[in-house]
Structure 1
């Protein structure tokens, strides 16, 4: 069905105007602007009485899909292959433990709450995510970016993003048929891993050089068009393979990050990303049926508690097993356990898009994202301050002990 151009223009105008007003309000309130986008979407959406400000939900879905591609593309541009190699064994082990540990605990909790198999699977994957943007922003405000725990958090969050996006692709592929089997899972994993391997091995030899050739023209408009073309090209390829478009866009960004002109491309892509990220979050808010929130607020709160507990436990234990100090392990666990973030919404919408998950998981995950986004800065800030005060109190106590007691310093 053809959508009249005037409807698209009107819907786009409404989205951007309401979004700008709400983000200004949330900025004044010193709250994350992403929540302002979601609230703006709820205001203009079809589920908000007395009437919807948006004429066609197909327009919302289109904007949301484009937003996912550009959002994940720019996220990938922050993670060049060389940077991924430098992250180290500790971060890989912690991220794997956290992602799969939280996924398993979250899945069985959702099943215990009476949710279906695929609903439980996508919700568990959604709560396995940590918002790198929020965590890094808070740590920057605390001047803790050089702390050992901050390095662990950043490395772990990078690996976690890759794991979650790859798992999303696998779950979507397996969920399309509506019936899961061992052969389907193996096939999905093989296709996804083959795609990732092809991107990193073959794509890394072609795409960065291509972008550098375009950059030598010194035409910024040509460069950004080429970069966005790569993003949508990889998203299309991944879609044709039955893999999440988010995965294709993410790894397209990883390849762009390998080019010598990465810094310029990243700057040029930022305004494009900001516009389409706003479209994505507003569209997600509009597609949420907030009237269902009272029905699942209790399960949402339970899942938030399970997510925080599972992440804290898995990160702390994985860190301690590798010899990281108690304080750094605790700080890393606090930082990684406190936030869901934007990728959680991508996961929820991804499950719905392929028809594997029920539509109610989007407002449920949206509710959890809003709550965790609000509390994350406070959890990280006061959690780290508590560990610092504990360390000072402990050191003060040790100074009062005789020097020959042979007490250990708590680097353990």
Structure 2
């Protein structure tokens, strides 16, 4: 009887345990490792009061194939899939913060400053990277990455300081809106040009026209169709149906952008802009945010996993130099553009400090965009990842103490916001 029991029940279990795991089993195993390590690092980051982005990037570095003694995951390519989904969902939810009416109301001052900041930082970054011996496309994508401002970090710090209603804060939000659109549009153009390898004026011009046509077409035509459809679905009062419908919009526009050789991030962002025009935008954002958080975490983990820490000594000095260039270029251009718009000294100073922070999710999206089309060298993504970690750590302190200094100058009468 015991032998029969062993043959019927125990032996199959032992055989299953000892057998070679299937591909699906390995994927589940990888996913379990990713989530466990990420949750541990997130808890540590929470206890240390550090941004979660840092926790997820470090988690990716721990489990990745480039970290000795061995990789904790077997299917690294699955991270690429998660990363792509993460990019789409991240930009989709960001786009939902900017309905068309809000984009119209950001004002000429914010637009002028955003254009000056983005172009000034990009040109400074390109000049420095070329002087450092970077390839042409490495310089382009790195310059784009350092032109990004982490709006999430800025708003979180200002909220904690109780300065969310400050005059400079409203200006920073408006500038950040325009800057995000500029960066996403430039990424689409750079990826389009890099994928063909053709740098002629005609090719670059066609890429720019294609991106502009896509954005205008989406806003003009999409604003008449998508919000109404979303509202129609929302009337069913089924949250499952609503989330499936809006994700269909996000992935649908991302796919169209991809087929046009435009960044999927561009399609996802403007899908969010269209959904923000509907009456269901608040409900949609609430149910979409948890999905965004999960796949967003997987995106940052994938970036960490692709970082080769053994190369850290090779790019740490260039990374530090570029962080200094980014901080300096942003502060100078924002300060000068703000003063040119007749803003007060204190407001200009606070705005310059607030927008000086570099990095965030869009910087990593820009760096990965170059890697996705094979235009950049292998060190670019890990270098931008290291820059993101460093600048994410520095930025809150820079904003906190910089604004305190500006307030002290104002109280002493040397930097009053009314002083022109």
TM over 0.5: yes
Change (3 A) 1:108 1:261: same
Which position in structure 2 is the counterpart of 1:66? 85
Which position in structure 1 is the counterpart of 2:35? 16
Which position in structure 2 is the counterpart of 1:345? 364
Alignment of 1:174-323 (within 5 A): 174-323=193-342
How far apart are the structure 2 equivalents of 1:367 and 1:154?
26
**Structure 1 position 338, deviation (Å):** 1.8
- Alignment partner for residue 55 of structure 2, among 36, 47, 59? 36
SS, match of residue 413 in structure 2: helix
Q: What TM-score, normalized to structure 1?
A: 0.95
Alignment of 1:139-158 (within 5 A): 139-158=158-177
Q: Name structure 2 gaps, 5 residues minimum.
A: 1-21
Which position in structure 1 is the counterpart of 2:6? none
Which position in structure 2 is the counterpart of 1:404? none
SS, match of residue 124 in structure 2: helix
Once the two structures are superposed, residues 242-284 of structure 1 have per-residue CA deviations (whole angstroms, 9 ceiling, x without a partner) of 0000110011001010000100000000110010101100111
Residues paired across the two proteins, number:
399
Which position in structure 2 is the counterpart of 1:402? none
How far apart are the structure 2 equivalents of 1:74 and 1:23?
21
How far apart are the structure 1 equivalents of 2:378 and 2:165?
42
The answer as to whether partners of 2:195 and 2:375 remain within 8 angstroms in 1 is yes
How far apart are the structure 1 equivalents of 2:378 and 2:228?
42
The answer as to whether partners of 2:345 and 2:417 remain within 8 angstroms in 1 is no
**Structure 1 position 144, deviation (Å):** 1.1
**Larger gyration radius, structure 1 or structure 2:** 2
Residue 373 (structure 2) pairs with residue 365 (structure 1):
no
- Alignment partner for residue 123 of structure 1, among 142, 154, 158? 142
Which position in structure 2 is the counterpart of 1:401? none
**Structure 1 position 4, deviation (Å):** 2.3
Residue 180 (structure 2) pairs with residue 161 (structure 1):
yes
Once the two structures are superposed, residues 170-219 of structure 1 have per-residue CA deviations (whole angstroms, 9 ceiling, x without a partner) of 00000012241111101100110000000110001001111000000000
SS, match of residue 338 in structure 1: coil
How far apart are the structure 2 equivalents of 1:56 and 1:31?
29
Residue 415 (structure 2) pairs with residue 411 (structure 1):
no
Change (3 A) 1:409 1:372: closer
Residue 334 (structure 2) pairs with residue 326 (structure 1):
no
Which position in structure 2 is the counterpart of 1:97? 116
SS, match of residue 162 in structure 1: helix
Q: CA RMSD in A?
A: 1.3
**Structure 1 position 293, deviation (Å):** 1.2
How far apart are the structure 2 equivalents of 1:125 and 1:138?
24
Q: What TM-score, normalized to structure 2?
A: 0.93
**Structure 1 position 364, deviation (Å):** 0.5
How far apart are the structure 2 equivalents of 1:125 and 1:409?
32
How far apart are the structure 2 equivalents of 1:225 and 1:341?
28
SS, match of residue 208 in structure 2: helix
How far apart are the structure 2 equivalents of 1:385 and 1:288?
36
Which position in structure 2 is the counterpart of 1:132? 151
Which position in structure 1 is the counterpart of 2:68? 49
The answer as to whether partners of 2:323 and 2:358 remain within 8 angstroms in 1 is no
How far apart are the structure 1 equivalents of 2:136 and 2:100?
35
Once the two structures are superposed, residues 275-320 of structure 1 have per-residue CA deviations (whole angstroms, 9 ceiling, x without a partner) of 0101100111001112111101111111101101100010001100
Residue 46 (structure 2) pairs with residue 27 (structure 1):
yes
